[in-house]
Chains A and B, each alone.
Chain A
Amino acid sequence: MSGLSINNLKVGYGRNEVIHGVDIKVGAGEKVALLGANGAGKSTVLKTISGLLTPTEGSITFNGEEIGGSNPAALVEMGVIQVPEGRRVFPGLNVEDNLKVANYGKSPDLFEEGLEAVYNKFPILKERRKQAAGLLSGGQQQMLSLSRAIIAKPRLLLIDEMSLGLAPLLVKEFYEQLGDLFSEDVTLLLVEQNAGLALKYCSRFYVLRNGELVLQSDSSDYIDDPTALQSAYLGVDA
């Protein structure tokens, strides 16, 4: 099957299992959100898909190919790209070098092309291209982090908690831009705590609580009243 398919995924740190058997399907080109309060295990799931963590059980396939436990470099080559939580730009490298790293191991010609696209979308990055990324504001760092993903030409894009530590207005802007930044056929799995924003952008969503899926549904069912998700998130009836 094409797209991303996760079956009975279990992940742990040492002996401590954090994800207790999770099934997620994202069809080719589909945009899906993985929601939940923090500590629910969302980032762990993403890190396992992108190869930073190894599953203890279960399978992850992308376009029919088993990718669970592969190393991150091989996955990047396949087009599995993660935008990490907390932006994780290289603070000591300048903006352009940060983008160059995203092109690691690929042809410089492609890079020039991608660079132009990025600079068109975020002129401020062009303006500050020689500045150390650590000196950028949080919003600009998020632009840079997304831009690295643009350069990497993803087929499966994993975005981890874009809203973390950013002003709400800014986050909203990023979500509105997402469609422009990446081509329509990119498969997207988005981790987010902020349900309202994610639902507007994604067609379906899953809710994770304490390492287990507690809800999955179409965004349209909740989009008018995301607060209805509260009980799924928190495990408490409001």
Chain B
Amino acid sequence: MSDPIEKSTTALERANIPLPKFLKKNHYFGFLGILLVYLLAGTYSEYSQTIMNTIIFAIIGASLIVVFGMAGQLTLGHTIFVAAGVFLSANITTVWTRGLETELPIAFGVAFLLGLIVGFPSLRVNELYLALATFAVAFVGVQVLFEWKQFSGGGSGKPVGKLELFGYEFSRGPTLVRIALVLMLITFWVVGNYQDGRTGRSWNALRTSETAARAAGLPVAWLKILCFGIGGGLAAIGGVLYAHTLRYAIPENYGVALSIIVVLALIIGGKHRLMGAVLGAVFVKWLPELSRDVQEYEGLIYGGTLIILTLIAPDGLVGMFEWLGERLKNLKSDPGAETTSFVAKETSPLDSEYLAPLSSSDPKGSLIVRDAAVAFGGVKAVDGVSFEIPAGGVTGLIGSNGAGKTTLFNAITGHVKGATGQFILDGEEISQKPIHNRALSGLGRTFQNLNLHDDLNVLEHALLGLDRNMKYGRIAESFRMPWVLREEKNAHYVAAELLDHMDLLEYWDEKVEDLPYGLQKRVDVVRALATNPSILLLDEPAAGLPTAEALEMMKKVQEYANHISAGVLIIEHNVELVAGVSDRIIVLDAGKTIADGTPEEVTRNEQVIAAYLGT
């Protein structure tokens, strides 16, 4: 029982958190599968057409995972990227008589740029709107193509030239299948790398809560546009393959119908996993092979399947299989066996080699608020509030319901539109910056109503916060360069120690939506702490918690804030708690400051008591 733990043992090792690796188990399975098809492609050449279509759909599916599965942007205009690939391929092979070495990069590049443009509305509108706007893009795209005869050949279309690579010509049939498989392998690998890297994590984060993603310092606008660029580029690779399979490019094939089918296929397969793209493609492409009857009713079957799956298994076939797998596992293992004895830490995580370097004796987080004001309609929610917080201090902000505390927070962090006044953090004016840049300047915040990312686990929340300090670029991430892995590993170690400090380590693998409220509150705090903020804005961290639990959490937060010498500004109703932790309390009422002083002074202030209890 009392095995002495070596001092050097890190939190990550104690919790058995796996480190990111260059190749994962999934990679081997995927590689095996693809190898199998690669070998069989020559044997069953009568099926090569269907195999080819399946591969193309799987690639398009993977590209949609980027846009829809990860970033959560429902796009119905995805076929314009496919069409771009198809027609660029037709033009490059016939007009320039060049081969794949030219087709692929140009198709990717053009579709990438096109994606940036198509993605633009996502910045201005909600997802519902966006779905329709992209639907319009698909609809109109095909018409424009139709009219642009020089490029597309108009209604009769355009032939596609030879299949060549650096001047070597290939026969189509099985060789094309093999080329396609290699491209699929690359596409899947790249998308998989995003899933494990900072970009994918950021996309997942913005899907589940944009507000919180911004507060963690993520450039949400760029990330949204980028997902369309990358998704579009990858889809165009599918388009190039399409061109060579069909050998003839006809505009009307790439309209709304195809757009809907690719989305349908991915949703049926499962939109969050690469396996979903494969299953969806297989479902859509092999079902009609079963019989002529099926062929006739194929659209009906797809529509019907989607309707039923949306009702019973929103995560598609993959989700169903995973659920079944869980069930089987639970049946086999006896329930008591899994509780691993959790080894307690011996030294404070703050002294660990990963958190110690963050220690600082140089207080930061001096915040000057000058004449902050926010009006909603005619109501002044915040009405000319000014104060200065010295670096490294703990300041409480209290006031009755509707006094304007949260609105003031939102004004400081940029989460509310139309705020006026000046905010200066450590001498730097941040009033005009967008939310995520204020976060990058050193504002860390939590949310009153818990803005967490439901689908992410606890560890990922910490990693999200750490994103602010990650250096590796997105191209390096696409190909999982060594330094990407190095940084990710380091971030995992830091995240684990941070979780350990907040007593969350044993829950690292849990999805936050499954955690009890008190722990969710901690996760929210962890995400903010991980950004290594200069000042931490806590919005009712104790609301809904028993006082003892709240005090315990606040103690941890303060320890960490002291460790990095950050300032803390805390909104709280639990006056007992605020009075216990703050050096100073500011009281708001009806949008104005009514008291400002030490906890003792404030709790005895007549005006404050009146504002709280009414007289």
Contacts and interface: CB of A to CB of B under 8 A. Distances in A.
Interface string B401-424: 110000000000000000000000
B574 A235 contact: yes
Interface stretch (B155-163, B460-468, B512-520): B512-520
For chain B, give the interface size range.
Answer: 20 to 34
B520 A196 contact: no
Instruction: Summarize A's interface: helix, strand, loop or mixed.
Output: loop
B546 A210 contact: yes
Interface in A30-47: 37-41
Interface string A174-206: 000000000000000000011111000000000
B520 A16 contact: yes
A15 B516 CA distance: 6
Interface residues of A, number: 33
Interface stretch (B81-89, B107-115, B216-224, B607-615): B607-615
A123 interface: no
Interface in B523-563: 540, 543-547
Nearest to B572: A39
Nearest to A19: B544
B386 interface: no
Interface stretch (A58-66, A98-106, A142-150, A225-233): A225-233
B579 interface: yes
B603 A236 contact: yes
A229 B612 CA distance: 11
Contact of B401 (A38, A41, A234): A38
A230 B377 CA distance: 34
A195 B576 contact: no
A194 B515 CA distance: 35
Contacts of B544: 16, 18, 39, 41, 210-211
Nearest to B515: A15
A124 B467 CA distance: 57
A17 interface: yes
A233 B604 contact: no
A193 B614 contact: yes
A14 B513 contact: yes
A230 B579 CA distance: 14
Contacts of A163: 614
A159 to B, nearest CB: 15
Interface in B365-398: 377, 379
A24 interface: no
B574 A234 contact: yes
A226 B614 contact: yes
A210 B545 contact: yes
Given A38-B573, A138-B379, A234-B576, A164 B614 contact: no
B400 interface: yes
B581 interface: no
A165 B615 contact: no
A108 interface: no
Interface centre among B400, B516, B573, B575 (most CB of A within 10 A): B573
Contacts of B574: 210, 234-235
Contact of A15 (B401, B517, B579): B517
A194 B576 contact: no
A236 B401 contact: no
Contacts of A233: 612-613
A52 B39 CA distance: 60
B614 A236 contact: no
Interface in B141-197: none
A69 B516 CA distance: 23
B573 A37 contact: yes
A168 interface: yes
B401 A161 contact: yes
Interface string B584-615: 00000000000000000001100001001111
A238 interface: yes
Given A194-B614, A210-B546, A38 B517 contact: no
Given A15-B517, A39-B544, A210-B547, A195 B614 contact: yes
Given A39-B544, A210-B546, A226 B517 contact: no
Q: Which 8 A-B pairs have the closest CB atoms?
A: A194-B614, A38-B401, A16-B517, A236-B576, A234-B575, A196-B614, A39-B543, A39-B573
Given A15-B514, A15-B516, 19 more contacts: A16-B517, A17-B517, A38-B401, A39-B540, A39-B543, A165-B379, A193-B401, A193-B614, A195-B614, A211-B544, A226-B614, A227-B609, A227-B613, A230-B612, A233-B613, A234-B576, A235-B575, A236-B575, A236-B603
10 contacts: A15-B514, A138-B379, A161-B401, A193-B612, A210-B574, A234-B575, A234-B612, A235-B576, A236-B576, A238-B603
